[in-house]
Amino acid sequence: MCGIFAYTGSKEALPILLDGLTSLEYRGYDSAGIYISGADAVKSVGAVENLKKKSMEHLHGTSGIAHLRWATHGEPTEVNAHPHHDTAQQVWVVHNGIIENFKELRESLQATGAQFLSSTDTEVVAHLIARHINSGQSFEEAVTTALREVRGTYGIVVSYALEPDKIIAARLGAPVVVGLGDGENFIASDPSPILRHTKDVLYLFDREIAVITPTSHSIRTLESVPVLREKETIDWEVEQAQKGGYDHFMLKEIMEGPEVVINTVRGRCIEDTGLARLGGLESVAEKLRDIKRINIVGCGSAYYAGLVGEYMLEEYAGIPTEVEIGSEFRYRKPIIDSETLMLAVTQSGETADTLEAIREGKRKGALTLGIVNTVGSTIARETDAGIYNHAGPEIGVASTKAFISQLTAFALLTLFLGRQRGISISTGKEIIEEINRLPEKIAYILETKDRIREVARKYAHVRDFLYMGRKYNYPIALEGALKLKEVSYIHAEGYGAGEMKHGPLAMIDENFPTLAIALNDSVYEKVVSNIQEVKARRGPVVAIATEGNTDVADLADDVLYIPETLEMLSPILSIVPLQLFAYYIAVERGFNVDRPRNLAKSVTVE
């Protein structure tokens, strides 16, 4: 999820673009860059503040494009920072999304003399547009032709040095907003940088292209059909725009669950053969065939994602798997050798304890992989290979969308390793079919948020909460309890439901509620028995149940339903109501859910 901003008008573009990038900084902070039409470009690694420290006295002009990068291809370096240009430095491009066929396009362009400077997928678009301009097409025709040739997703903005006042934007799967001013117009990835200048906007739909100049704008489809669309007036303030109109980043990020699964899965499932295509593992695919055991390391929510991954990998890939808390792994003497896979799970890629665990694994000869959300992070660089989440920046301290992405990545890794070892084509195809249905099923759960809020308000002022689950949803009980602790400061414990008789049952009374995950799966009857144990002690019960199961309603005080899916994928659905439940309880209690006390987003020290 990168940040894009463009301006064309009569004012100096540079200060407007810098100000706009600052308001977009929540969307990415790997690197930043600006191109002023007819002048030059300046780039930097890191946040906008680093860009502002660069010498920019020569960047004079009244039209330009700017970008904040959240890396998906290529490490965060100045070379890989946007904007990117063609060989002649005439066509300049900023891009949010993924060009899936960039390798074949790059090879074709290099064969005809294009000189590439970066390792990003975006640069091919600049060269492709330049190729069509050089063949005699107009600027607008060249952009249209080029976009018909690319596969993937894009929110893209293009500037052409020979037509400096004109900017072209297009959308396919990534948002693009056109801002309409008086003698000036804007393009952005969301309204936040535009609202400082105008509240009149147009939203592009997929496969649409917008052309703006200081005094005009037009929209047409990729098939060149003109589009007439009425402008909308936004009544949000800037901060609300950054949050997409939601009250908090945490809620916005929970609501992005369907998009997160789509982005994590995009281009990685081969439906016909039931295979997972994980480009980040191609270099070690043969070594992975010889792996005899897996050690997963992570901290906090990443550790709980690893526990779900353990169930997946052992059941479907048949590989003995252990999961370790990164901070404890460092002080053990683990049995690791060349047939061991060390797998780090981390949103930031900088978690100190997880990093040291990976380094210890490398010292002992293990193959190391990462499931990481941040391209170019330390763990991404130091592991032998890995899987990028493509979840976009997560601003809320309590992990929500990154956790969903990690679970989805584990499902893909399980499919990848399982098909190497004996999962049948039919089973592989079944898993892929269900993975592809997850976004709509998450969206269905999100539509029930008012019901979840109603139940949350009922329990908002309790002192304690016990979460219980079994098998795949035991780690979800742990994660659900963690979410409640993090943002509401209610004492909550997660337990394997089978452990109730071994101690936790002593705490249960009419003032100690339990949240039970009771889905229609292989352990359903066992969980129902545990719910009955709680009810026998007069404990209130909130149940997460499979849609259509009315029997649970006869036992529990409150029931939240989720759609049915494969048991191995059920955690990706069952965590969603628990995230919303924690969020609404914290809001009811009046706390800042985005910045819980005493916590930081990334733990980079022990």
pLDDT tens track for 515-574: 999 999 999 999 999 999 999 999 999 999 999 999 999 999 999 999 999 999 999 999
Residue 586 burial (CB count, 10 A): 26
Looking at the domain assignment, is residue 294 inside a domain? yes
More confident: 264 or 56: 264
Cβ pair 560, 454 in contact under 8 A:
no
Same domain (yes/no): 278, 230: no
Q: Residue 70: phi, psi to the nearest 5?
A: -115, 105
Name the pLDDT band for 1 (thresholds 50, 70, 90): low
Q: Is the pLDDT of residue 604 over 80?
A: no
Q: Determine which one of 11, 458, 526, 601 is catalytic.
A: 601
Same domain (yes/no): 95, 152: yes
* pLDDT at residue number 153: 85
Looking at the domain assignment, is residue 596 inside a domain? no
Cβ pair 365, 338 in contact under 8 A:
yes
Q: Mean pLDDT throughout 407-418?
A: 97
Q: Which residues contact 77 (CB under 8 A, 6 or more apart)?
A: 31, 45, 376
Same domain (yes/no): 257, 226: no
Alpha carbon of 603 to those of 350, 351, 598: distances in Å? 7, 5, 12
Same domain (yes/no): 261, 237: no
Among 219, 242, 265, the domain boundary falls at: 242
Cβ pair 28, 21 in contact under 8 A:
no
Distance CA 49, CA 149 (A): 36
Q: Which of 386, 324, 385, 388 is nearest to 360 (CA)?
A: 324
* pLDDT at residue number 184: 97
* Amino acid present at 578: L
Q: Mean pLDDT throughout 144-158?
A: 94
Q: Mean pLDDT throughout 278-292?
A: 93
Same domain (yes/no): 510, 456: yes
Lowest mean pLDDT among 16-20, 348-352, 418-422: 348-352
DSSP character string of 10-34: SS-HHHHHHHHHHHTGGG--SEEEE
Q: Is the pLDDT of residue 74 over 80?
A: no
Looking at the domain assignment, is residue 395 inside a domain? yes
Q: Determine which one of 2, 166, 299, 485 is catalytic.
A: 2
Catalytic residue check, 526 = no
* pLDDT at residue number 70: 74
Q: What is the CATH number of the domain that holds 376?
A: 3.40.50.10490
Our count of domains for the chain comes to: 3
Q: Is the pLDDT of residue 279 over 80?
A: yes
Q: What is the CATH number of the domain that holds 126?
A: 3.60.20.10
Among 190, 216, 242, the domain boundary falls at: 242
**DSSP H stretches of helix in 208-266:** 238-242, 249-255, 257-265
Q: Which of 221-228's residues contact partners 24+ apart within 8 Å by CB, and which partners?
A: 222/144, 222/147, 222/148, 222/170, 224/144
Same domain (yes/no): 61, 183: yes
* pLDDT at residue number 605: 45
* pLDDT at residue number 534: 93
Q: Mean pLDDT throughout 14-37?
A: 87
Same domain (yes/no): 461, 356: no
Q: Residue 212: phi, psi to the nearest 5?
A: -125, 145
Same domain (yes/no): 220, 302: no
Q: Which of 454-458's residues contact partners 24+ apart within 8 Å by CB, and which partners?
A: 455/542, 455/558, 455/560, 455/581, 456/580, 456/581, 456/583, 456/584, 456/585, 456/588, 457/584, 457/585, 457/588, 458/558
Among 440, 465, 484, the domain boundary falls at: 440
Residue 234's domain spans which residues? 3-242
* pLDDT at residue number 597: 85
Catalytic residue check, 269 = no
Q: Is the pLDDT of residue 227 over 80?
A: yes
Instruction: Please give the model's pTM, rounded to 2 decimal places.
Output: 0.79
